[in-house]
Amino acid sequence: MNYLAGLDVGTTGAKAVLIDEDGKVAASATGDYPMATPKPLWSEQDPEDWWRAAESVFRRVISLAGISSDQVAGVGLTGQMHGLVALDAAGKVLRPCIMWNDQRTEKECRAITEKLTPARLLELTANPVLPGFTAPKILWVRDHEPEIYRQIAHVLLPKDFIRYRLTGEFATDVSDASGTSLFDVARRRWSSEMLHALSIPAEWMPSASESPEVTGRVSLRAAHSTGLAEGTPVVAGAGDQAAGGIGNGIVDAGVVSVTIGTSGVVFAHTDRLSMDPGGRLHAFCHAVPGAWHIMGVTLAAGGSLRWYRDVLATEEREAARQRNRDPYDLLMEEAALAPPGSEGLFFLPYLSGERTPYQDPSARGAYVGLTLRHSRPHLIRSLLEGVAYSLRDCLELARSSGVEARQIRASGGGARSALWRQILADVFNAELVTVNSIEGAPFGAALLAGVGAGVFRDVRDASRRTVRVGERTAPGREAAGVYGRGYEVYRSLYPSLKGVFTAVG
């Protein structure tokens, strides 16, 4: 039997999965790596850490599955989007990757927007220029690290650095390229006008292919270090959200996914390019050839809960260690002790600035409404609720852009919590469903590999044959009413605090 490998270069670690032709997961493995924050709101990682993790997890999944390397018919890549990986002419990494959640480029974003105008940017790239995107990071390096800038010969996105190390090829896919502010999303090619306007050499950019297309084959050197067979085809893959969309079966209109990972994303398939006039939603090429997707992003969704765990949950972490349990499980048990609405306590999840609906790198996280009545369960539950409210902001924008949400599919680490799924269903006042695969983006990347290897006819065939609906969570009428009123209060908080955020920024 053939097997398919998918690798996700995530924010906190790399994850590889092996699936068979029926979509059954044969093995999975993860490898962690650090993230540096050299200054407030800066985020960087060493691409070589990604490669070391990739080598390890590829070897481990092949071993865990008990198969030979020549049974792996193809490899698909996915990962965190927007990150700037700068290489010299010899393929050497010139500096740490400036990541998707890095907010240092507000000045460069303004300069690009003033030069080209917001309307022209939408015409050229279908999106505004945001601090997380790649183009302003290139300009930041030009302005602040000129010695490094002069050495740049290649610009890659995170997953595409792994492709380079696997195959020696400089390539990407159209979904990941869509988040660079240098890509013509409508025509699915690099924008010569954007590159020229920003004086970025076109030869720096990798070739851009549709997601299931083969872009190279595993080299002998990479085969030795990863355990993959030399010559194994590697497909273009997709950005993490597009790959997750494939893994969740978002390959037709009317089905929407809500993913809670480090960030939170509302994702919808569209057969025609649809842009929010204010640029508050991303409009990117989909991993389905000839299709697009729109999405809204909460930058710190699961990231907010991780912050709480790391900073405020000392007792829970120790209790979890002593009882051999996951500290997140204990946090969810505490949160369930507080009632819906957290007795008037609200949390703004803007710990990394924000992207949707407020394109504001100066936005900050906040608890609002604290009283002596509130305890740790309220703090935790209100955080879960704040993330859900923020994701509802994204969903409402998608609906206003014409997206029909007949079904909402929940995925990501946060969606494994029955409590968080219930809060989402209540806040959205809509049924949520899960799917059979919990692997998300790497599962989708493996399906794309299957298309490139000829195991599946096309991307829709791959998704429909392997993705099935699992648990259903219906909204509770009373809780939905509480959250309906709470959402109106939540929507008033950012406008009230915007000036304060700017002042403290």
pLDDT tens for each residue of 280-312: 899 999 999 999 999 999 999 999 999 999 999
Full 3-state SS string of 315-384: HHHHHHHHHCCCHHHHHHHHHCCCCCCHHHCEEECCECEECCCCCECCCCCEEECCCCCCCHHHHHHHHH
Q: Is the pLDDT at 105 greater than 70, yes or no?
A: yes
Q: What is the pLDDT of residue 280?
A: 86
Using CA atoms, how far residue 210 sits from 169, 286, 332, in Å, is: 15, 9, 40
Give the rounded percent of residues in the chain with a pLDDT score beyond 70.
100
Higher pLDDT, 370 or 1: 370
Mean pLDDT across the stretch 142-158?
A: 98
Radius of gyration of the chain (CA): 22
pLDDT band at 275 (very low <50, low <70, confident <90, very high): confident
Per residue in 49-65, pLDDT (tens digit) is: 999 999 999 999 999 99
Mean pLDDT across the stretch 390-394?
A: 96
Q: What is the pLDDT of residue 407?
A: 87
Lowest mean pLDDT among 183-187, 222-226, 462-466: 462-466
**Are 447 and 456 a contacting pair, CB within 8 Å?**
yes
**Neighbour tally for 258: CB within 10 Å:** 29
Q: Is the pLDDT at 417 greater than 70, yes or no?
A: yes
102 belongs to the catalytic site: no
Q: What is the pLDDT of residue 38?
A: 93
Q: What is the pLDDT of residue 505?
A: 67
**Are 320 and 412 a contacting pair, CB within 8 Å?**
no
Which token pair is 486? 């709470």
Mean pLDDT across the stretch 35-57?
A: 96
Tell me the HSE value of 94 on the side-chain side, using a 13 A CA sphere.
Answer: 24
Per residue in 326-381, pLDDT (tens digit) is: 999 999 999 999 999 999 999 999 998 998 999 888 899 999 999 999 999 999 99
Q: What is the pLDDT of residue 405?
A: 86
Residue type, 315: E
Per residue in 458-477, pLDDT (tens digit) is: 999 999 999 989 899 999 99
Q: Is the pLDDT at 401 greater than 90, yes or no?
A: no
Mean pLDDT across the stretch 424-432?
A: 95
Pick the closest to residue 413 from 267, 305, 256 (CA basis): 305
**Strand 72-79 to 238-239 pairing:** parallel
Q: What is the pLDDT of residue 261?
A: 85
Pick the closest to residue 91 from 14, 169, 159 (CA basis): 169
Lowest mean pLDDT among 3-7, 212-216, 466-470: 466-470
Mean pLDDT across the stretch 408-421?
A: 91
pLDDT band at 437 (very low <50, low <70, confident <90, very high): confident
**Are 154 and 84 a contacting pair, CB within 8 Å?**
no
Q: Is the pLDDT at 438 greater than 80, yes or no?
A: no
Please report the domains of the chain, with CATH numbers, ordered by start residue.
Answer: 3-248 (3.30.420.40), 302-434+471-498 (3.30.420.40)
Mean pLDDT across the stretch 184-189?
A: 98
Q: What is the pLDDT of residue 306?
A: 95
Q: What is the pLDDT of residue 92?
A: 98
**Are 459 and 287 a contacting pair, CB within 8 Å?**
yes
Q: Is the pLDDT at 166 greater than 70, yes or no?
A: yes
Q: What is the pLDDT of residue 277?
A: 79
pLDDT band at 255 (very low <50, low <70, confident <90, very high): confident
Phi and psi at 160, nearest 5°, equal -75, -20
Give the active site residue among 240, 276, 393, 426: 240
